[in-house]
Amino acid sequence: MSFYVDMADMYTVILNENHPLIKRVLSEAESSCAEKLQPIISENEQLEARRTALYDARRDKKEDEIPQSEKDELSDIEQKITKIKSDKEALLAEYAAGDKCVSQLIDITLLQNNMLTGEALNNFVKRSIEMMK
C-alpha cells in the first residue's frame, strides 16, 4: 500500500482553447518549443505511417500467418512511438515549469477548487504580485 502513498497527485484540467489567454500561452509554447519539437513530430509521423502500413498489411491475415519479423517490427515501432510521446511531454513539461503564466493558471485552478494551501498558496500570492509589477 505504500506504493500509492509515494505517487504524486494527478489532476485533469479542462481549458477553453478559445480564451485569449490560453491561445496566447499555447502560441508562445509552440513558438518557443518549435525547433526542438519539429524533429520529434517528424519522426513520429514516419513511425505512425509505418505502423499503419503494417496494420493494413496484416488486416486480412490470421495471427499465425504474420511473419515474426513484422510482429517484431510492429512491437519496436510501438515502443519508439511511446518513447517519442514521453520525450514530447517532457519537453513541454520543461517549458511549462519555467513559464510563470502556466504556473499561475494551474494555481488559479487549484485555488478555485480549494486545493491550493500552505507554501503553494504563498508562492501563488508572491507570483501574482510579481506579475502585476
pLDDT at 6: 59
- For 68-103, letters b (16+ CB in 10 Å) and e give eeeeeebeebeebbeebeeebeeebeebbeeeebbb
Closest CA to 33 of 83, 97, 79: 97
pLDDT at 61: 86
83 with 17: CB under 8 angstroms? no
Q: 96 CB contacts (<8 Å, ≥6 apart)? A: 29, 102, 103
pLDDT at 75: 94
pLDDT at 59: 87
Closest CA to 59 of 72, 45, 70: 70
pLDDT at 85: 94
C-alpha 57/C-alpha 44 separation (Å) is 20
Closest CA to 92 of 32, 50, 41: 32
Closest CA to 23 of 85, 105, 130, 98: 105
pLDDT at 15: 82
0.75 exceeded by the pTM? no
pLDDT at 4: 54
The list of the chain residues with pLDDT below 70 reads 1-8
